[in-house]
Structures are given as structure tokens and as C-alpha cells.
Structure 1
Amino acid sequence: MRKQLFPYVARFLCSDTRLRARRYGYEIRRRLRRQPHCVEVFLRIDDPYSYLLLQVLPQLQQRFTCRLRCCTTLELAQEMFPDYRKWEQNACRDGVYLAGLYGLAFPARPPAFTPAAITAATAQLAAAETEPDFIGRALNIYHAFWSGAVPAGQLSAVLAQRLRANERRRRTLGHYMSAMLYYGGEWYWGLDRLDHLERRLNALGLAADGRARVDFDRTYRDFCRHGQPGAAQQPPLLVYFSIRSPYSYLGLERAVALAAHYRLTLEIKPVLPMLMRGMAVPPAKKWYIFLDTKREARKFGIDYGFVADPLGAGTERCYALFEYARSAGKAVPYLLNYARAVNRDGIRSETDAGLKTILARTGLDWDKAKPLLHRDEWRSWADANLAELFTLGQWGVPCFKFGATVAWGQDRLDVIERAVVRGRSD
């Protein structure tokens, strides 16, 4: 019964109706309490995305009539990162890319930070929170820290208590990361989700100049709007993908569009979901990903939310038939139809009825597919795909590779597109 109800519950929880009701309720409560519009910002000194986010906060202050309350954090929830070292290395590379995209400061080769330096700089930030010009003070601290200067500062009992209060506040509100903005029950991560916050503040009429514009959309503004490259043969676009990953679903939809626009060969490399590899995904992370996927899907015009989780048998059955679909020349439509079925249509792929529907949509034969469901040769290539992903310096999906260009996350398909447009893959 739970599996039958789950898609309907998921659809309600991420529905536009519920979102509008929650926002309306928040706004009514704010007015009744006579509170100003306030965005809370959670920063961490050694987080690349916090450094970038801090640099654009003055722009937000100028553009919108709302307060910013910045909170320094030190705690790092390691359980939220499957491989923190790889995440950190990718974040630094990504920081260079985003800085170039938005004209911000970020070192091409970030210095190595010692625990003592991190603590000292964090103490400086925490001490500056009570200053009227916190953002200006914080920018000076960040610039010095990321340029390799050795900070001076001690984490007093008072400052340590302030950090604990900030981190407790973040946990109470339901999150775990830094470079996060919180407004009215919703979270916005770094530069990549500022567009959602901009739209929300615009809808509330908070644009200081009355112009409802979105500035932080450069990673997708020109998606599939460039001319096609020349006739020279292009390498294939590789997509490392999990049938259970919501972001993989968005990434696949967009990668299919990208490949069609630029006439690229698309090759999908499925891997097992994290939970089927013995890794944990904490509830706060799952909830954020679910709601974030919905708003990203809405932005891109992709239907999402009527979710029938394929964890376990649904994933195994999907991968067991992948080689059959590939041998029929239908690998991409098969996975696309499967992803749509479990993310958009509420189809339970662990059932024969559900799987028959997916195969029929793809033009594959159920009688030929059924005997293959009990075979497990797919585990070998799924493991090989995961090993390839690790050799690329990545740890999760979706991940994209075009020649020598590698990009993690559906947010970075523009990195791949730029490489395609350049007509080279370096």
C-alpha cells in the first residue's frame, strides 16, 4: 500500500498549489508580526561557494528592499558528502569557472588551508557579525584567506557559542551546507539558485528600482541557442547516470536536447544508486534534493514530481534490460522513457505492468525482455562505469564528459555546451 500511495504523496508535497499556500502563509505571518523581509545567509570560510556568494551580496542589497542576516559556520557535516575530498576539488575548479562567468574573484590555485587557519579566520568572521558593515569586513577576511594570508584570531568561548547558535539555527531550519540562503521556508544554494530567490523577491515587489529582472542565469540563459558547430567529427557526449537520481533525470532530459541540437552521439553509462552501494543519504539531504529538483524542473519546462521510487528491484530491472535496449539501438529512448516513467508518471517499474508500459513506449518486446530480468551481467558494467567515474575525479551523478571536458551536475551542462561550441573538447 505504501508503494502505491508514494507517488501521490510525492506529487502533493512538491505541487505548485502547496508551494503557493506555504508562501502565502509565510507572508501573512510576516505581516502580522510586522517583520521585515529578511534573507538569512550561512557562510563557511573555506567553502568556495561561500566566497563567491559573499561577493554578490552587495548587489542583492542594492537591488532588493530586504535585509540580509549573515551567519558564520564552522561545522562540516561529513555524512552529507559521499567523498568530501573529491567534492572539494571539484568545488575549487567550479569556483574558477563561476568566477569567470560572473566577473568575481577566485584563485586559479587555491592555497592549502590548515585547521588552525580555518579556525582563526572563522573567529574573525564570527566577531564581525555584530558590525554594521559585516559584508565589507567579511569580504576583506575572505580575500585575505583565499590569497593565502595567515589569519590571526582566536575562537573565544563567546564566538564558539555564536557559531553553535548559527549551526543550530541552520539545522532547525532544515539544512546542512554552507553558501546557503534561507527565505520564508525555502533554501537557495550559492550562485546556482539565486535565480529562484530573485524570482521570488521580484514576485513580492521587492525590486528597489521596480524592474523585475533575473541576473544569475548565465549557466543556462543561452542553452541550445548557439549555432551548430562545423562538419568536423565530434566526440560522443558521455552521461554517467543513475535511474534513481532526480538530478540525473533532469540531466538526461537536457543532455538529450543538447545532443539533438548539436548533432552529437549520446552515450549513457548507468551506475548503481548510492543507497544500493551501501551509502547513506540523510533525510535532510533527500528532502532538499526532492524540492530542488522540482523547482529546477519547473524552470526548464520538465515535468517532475509524480515519483515512483525505483530503488531496489526497479533499478535492477532497468539495468538488466539495458543491453537489450542497446542492442536494438534504443538505449537512449529506453532510459529516457524509464526515467520519465518513475519521475513524471508515477509508474512502478518493479511491477510487470509498469515495466511493460515502459517497454511499449520504447518499442521493445516484453516477451524478449522478460527472460533477461533474472540475469545479472549488468553488475559488471555498472561497476566499470562507476570506476570510470572515479578516474575522472568525480564521485556522483549526473556527470558529463565531452572529449577531455568533464562536468559534474546538471547545472554544468553549459560547460559541455561551451566546449561543443568551441568545436573542440579540451
Structure 2
Amino acid sequence: MLKLYFFIGLICSVKSDTDETCPSFTRLSFHSAVVGTGLNVKLMLYTRKNLTCAQVINSTVFGNLNVTKKTTFVVHGFRPTGSPPVWMEDLVQSLLSVEDMNVIVVDWNRGATTVIYNHASSKTRKVAVVLKNFIDQMLVEGASLDNIYMIGVSLGAHISGFVGKMYNGQLGRITGLDPAGPLFNGRPPEDRLDPGDAQFIDVIHSDTDGMQYFKCDHQRSVYLYLSSLRENCTITAYPCDSYRDYRNGKCVDCGMPQKESCPLLGYYADNWKAYLKQKDPPMTKAFFDTADEKPFCIYHYFVDIITWNKNIRRGSITIKLTDRAGNTTESKINHEPATFQKYHQVSLLARFNQDLEKVAAISLVFSTGSTIGPKYKLRILRVKLRSLSHPERPPLCRYDLVLMENTETVFRPILCPKLQM
């Protein structure tokens, strides 16, 4: 199977789910989380015929469900306060905006709501059985496993994996959004989401510690996925053995002309499955960076520098781009100090929060990081800026520069000669 890795409660009353004109996600109180809740799974269908008003469906009542179309199940995870996921409505609407499909929200809040994580975790297999029974009926009505897509968040990722196991990995796709770590890390494949659970699996890891649920990085995976559904933000990931190698620009061949395209994060990740089929085993890790705020996109450039200093210089480069309208974006390339040797090209990977289509000015600052002692010069024979996010854009060059340490040098770039490598 194909797999791609992208590495306060308020007390309130419980509303009845019955007799709702537009059924809503189960809303529970913190009190419910303290005393615990019994499992009850509710399936809510959204289609382009009922974009904002869900239909509660089950094995005998399909509502607007069209079994000939893709069906996407959205499965949430641990809910320690009983509140609905704040991202759910946005995710449903965004999915339906990019494709005419069935979107089924798997509401197992009665079961996921508890302050004791282990209690919620123990119910995941039972939720999977409910979904298996429903999908079985879909298949009877003419659905295809190829068209079943499951998006699982936290514990929901493992629920999706359990469903996939019951179909021997024949589900079309599973996306795991920061799969829950506690009680699952280190477990055998049958006890967690595994590469063999679907025809294509992509996983976004955004929480490195795995233990602190309320940290924003755990939910960040959902918002990164959401950004992929918006036309103004495409997050590119780079297959690599380690984050260090990625940050040092050693793993960006897929972004070069005449090379295999890089995998995209989120909804369109499965566009890369044709390439994965050529790998043995057919799985890989890919790394990426994000901005601090929505829509989180980072735009990558290579900064190629050839120096002619007699002595070796080590230090970092800060680069700022400015367009004709005066907009600026800056990148401090200081992951590891670069080593500049005479007539040797150093290629630095720069990351910008903004995409400036037409760069009118570039500024560079060289720093050794030393606060005392002499100030050094970096003598540049040539600097070249080339976009990885938009490789079709012509690279920009400048020749014969001298950078005084910790002093900004601003210049206007020119188009590089076409025959230049």
C-alpha cells in the first residue's frame, strides 16, 4: 500500500438530537466529560444538495447519499470538554467546494467526551465496527471501496485504520491528521493506523511531543489540511530522510525542472501516488515548513552564492525581497552556518511568508554571529535567486558584491543568462 508522511470548559445544558430541523453535532458539557458518556455514533450527511443542513443517516436511511460518488468520512478524536470541533463546519464546506461528493461527519462525541483519555481510546474499535456496518450497506447499494475516503483526526485516524483493516486495505484512501500517540505509538500494525490499511495513506504529523492535547500544534494538522482546499495556498513538501537535510536544501530535487513533481500537502496529496508506486517500499517521508498564521503557506527559493574570499568564511545570510509595489518579505537562513569557500557555490534554502511575483530589489546581510572581534567581509562573485515554488519563473542574478558583516546591502537584480547553470 502507498503511504506518504508529512511530519476551559463551560457548564451548559445538553440539547436533544431529536426533532431537529437541521441536525447538529452533539454538544455536551464539561460535566458530561467528568462523569463519562456511553458510546452513540451519529452519521450526518452533507452534499451539494444540502450544503448547510445535515441529514442523519444510517444503514436503512441514506437520504441524499449517492453511492456512485466519492464518500468522505470525517472522524474526530478525543473531546475532553464535550464541545464540537471548531473546525468541522469549515472542513465540510471546503470539501464540498472542491468536489461533488458525499461528506459524512462521524459524530461519536458521546464516547469521545471524557477527561480520561483511555476511556475514549477504548471505544475506537466499536466506532470502527459501526462504520464497517454502514459501508457494507453502501456496497450492497452499489458503492465501490475505491471511492471511500476517510479523514481521521487524532483518535479518528486510528478508527479509520481499523475500518481499513476490516476491508483488507482496499479502502481508497485514509488521511491521518496527527494520529493520536499515547497508547498507539509502538503498537503492532493491527492496533493502530498502518500503511496497509488503505490503497493510499497520507499522514500529517504536526505535534512532536504527543502528550499535551491542548497545545495548538495538535490541531494545526487540521488547519494545514484545510489550507490545501483553498486555491490561494498550496503547501509543497519535500521527500527527505531527515528534517535537518531538508532545511539544508539537500532534498529539493523534485522541485527542479524535468524532475518528478513534489508532493502536495493535504487534499491533493494522492496526486503523487503514481510516483510512490515506483518506490520499494512504496512509502516515504516528506518535510515542510509553515508560516505562523493562516493560510500557513511558505514559498521556497534557492539562493546560490559563489564567493571569492581568500579565506573561508562561515556565517548566515538574511535575505529580503521587495516588489515594485513596495511589499517586502524576509528570510533568515540560519538553520546551520554556511561555509563559503573561494569559487565554490553554496546553495541556501530560503523560506518566505509571501510570494512576490516580480522582485524589484534584493537585500542581503551576512553575519558570523560574533558580537565581538573584527567585522568580516563576504566577497560575492555571483548571487542567484531561483524560485522552487514557481520554477517557471526566470532566475535573478547579481554580480560582484561585497557584503560588510551585519550591514544591509541592497541591489536590483537582473535576469540570469539563459545558458547559465
- Relative contact order, higher structure (CA 8 A, sep 6+): 1
TM-score (norm 1): 0.25
Relative to its length, the structure with more helix (as a share) is: 1
TM-score (norm 2): 0.25
